[in-house]
Amino acid sequence: MRRLMTPRFSPLEGGLFSSVSKADVGEGAGELIKAGVDVMAWADPFFPDPSIPASVQTVMAEAVASGLPSHYTMPIGSADLRGVIAGKLGTRNGITADPSRNILVTPGSDSGLLYAMMPFLEQGDEVLVPDPSYPSNFANCRLLGAVPVSVPLRAEDGYQLDPAALEAALTPRTKMVLISHPNNPTGTVFRRDTLEALARFVVAHDLILVCDQAFEDHVFDNIEMVSPATLPGMWERTVTVFSVSKGLGLSGFRVGYLVADDRIMDVLYGGAVNVLGATSTLSQIGAAAALKDETILPAYFDILDRRRRLAHAAFSAVPGVRMQMPESGILSWLDIRALGTATEVSAHILRTARVLVNEGEPYGAEGAGHLRIVHGCFMDETRAVDAYSRIAGALQLLSRDSQLLPA
């Protein structure tokens, strides 16, 4: 039936016939877990350990006992959750949002991200996408008939977006800039001056910015986290994508939200039932409870701040591995070109350390020879550190083989 499909979809494969390479989608990872492998390839904080905070458990248990979460909320999200989100946007993002006009709750930010792009993209439109970044940033463009245009991020620049690289990628077909901020996989937090230059570029060329802030919650070293929607001229041309998956560690709840100007949101509300449907009622209740509990983020911040240092210490000590200290979140991004291809090195880590990590290629052309490791796995620090050491040990073996280390 592929013959009856559009050229945007017919090349897709879900890995029905290749369980390992598509471990993310199919049963591959499940089999590995059963075989005792640690999966550090899902951006799922604290996986696989229990991690619903007690305050959130209490509220959800009460909701289950009430028997009421069997019913739909409004497709745009429950009034309660939108109210809580509006408060959070004000205090944490500097965004003044009307909960009935500027906020759309989505069943996770994955579908939210695609939906944020959908109204704007026409066949052949070009989207500027920092490279490396979240694989969906490239794939979503293609699914919508648009063309992702890579804008390289360089290690030498600390992976900051280079305004000259944006200008160089611009064509008359450019319609949108799509960024993950902080960036996945590099963890980079784009600085105010970078974002101001980006904003001037977007306004000057009459573009749309889609800004995915799924990782905004844990930004270290007192780096300022600026929401581009707050910059001059940007509110009316930015759709910001948020999630409770990463910072609050509630990936399984599947709650995200889009924030935009009334005139964009009117359209997004108009298609919400069709494209997204409502979001799980119980998940919205849990998300609201988590957003209200002001102790969660600081507690996780401390854990994850320590983790990134431990991960960085373990991985960057290996000769041939280049890695910057993560500025945010739960991800380590390793340049392992001196040790082999990402496919070779990740296979070696799987075999030797029994840990599944991500190859860099899906994150863009710049991801070749890189690995992404979700160092924010496990609640238990001992177990996390043990996994880091096993990975480092495996890398060290390669290092030795490549004669980067004395034998």
Ligand X SMILES: Cc1ncc(COP(=O)(O)O)c(C=O)c1O
Name every residue whose Cβ is closer than 8 Å to that of residue 378 and which is 6 or more positions away in sequence: 46, 47, 48, 49, 384, 387
Is residue 204 part of the contact set for a second copy (CB under 8 A)? no
Is residue 109 part of the contact set for ligand X (CB under 6 A)? yes
Nearer to a second copy, 251 or 346 (CB): 251
Name every residue whose Cβ is closer than 8 Å to that of residue 190 and which is 6 or more positions away in sequence: 160, 161, 179, 181, 182, 183, 198, 226
Choices 12-20, 94-102, 104-112, 292-300 (CB under 6 A): range interacting with ligand X: 104-112
Is residue 256 part of the contact set for ligand X (CB under 6 A)? yes
**386 contacts which partner out of a second copy, ligand X, none, CB within 5 to 8 A by kind?**
none
**132 contacts which partner out of a second copy, ligand X, none, CB within 5 to 8 A by kind?**
none
Is residue 251 part of the contact set for a second copy (CB under 8 A)? yes
Name every residue whose Cβ is closer than 8 Å to that of residue 68 and which is 6 or more positions away in sequence: 281
Single out the residue of 78, 184, 238, 399 in contact with ligand X (rule: CB under 6 A): 184
Single out the residue of 38, 40, 86, 109 in contact with a second copy (rule: CB under 8 A): 109
**357 contacts which partner out of a second copy, ligand X, none, CB within 5 to 8 A by kind?**
none
Say if strands 238-243 and 256-259 run parallel, antiparallel, or are unpaired. antiparallel
**186 contacts which partner out of a second copy, ligand X, none, CB within 5 to 8 A by kind?**
none
Single out the residue of 133, 136, 174, 183 in contact with a second copy (rule: CB under 8 A): 136
Single out the residue of 252, 319, 340, 393 in contact with a second copy (rule: CB under 8 A): 252
**Which residues inside 70-89 make contact with a second copy, applying CB under 8 A?**
70-76, 79
Q: Is 68 exposed, middle or buried (0-12, 13-18, 19+ CB in 10 A)?
A: exposed
Measured distance CA(406)–CA(401) in Å, rounded: 9
Choices 79-87, 106-114, 142-150, 297-305 (CB under 6 A): range interacting with ligand X: 106-114
Kindly state the smallest distance separating residue 96's Cβ from ligand X, in Å: 23
With CB under 8 A, what is the number of residues at the site for a second copy?
99
**Which residues inside 268-297 make contact with a second copy, applying CB under 8 A?**
268-283
With CB under 6 A, what is the number of residues at the site for ligand X?
15
Single out the residue of 26, 163, 319, 393 in contact with a second copy (rule: CB under 8 A): 26
Is residue 180 part of the contact set for ligand X (CB under 6 A)? yes
With CA atoms as reference, report the closest residue to 265 among 303, 294, 235, 291.
Answer: 235
Kindly state the smallest distance separating residue 70's Cβ from ligand X, in Å: 11
Nearer to a second copy, 246 or 348 (CB): 246
Single out the residue of 32, 86, 108, 321 in contact with a second copy (rule: CB under 8 A): 108
Q: Where on the chain is the footprint of ligand X (CB under 6 A)?
A: 43, 108-110, 113, 134, 180, 184, 212, 214, 243, 245, 251, 256, 277
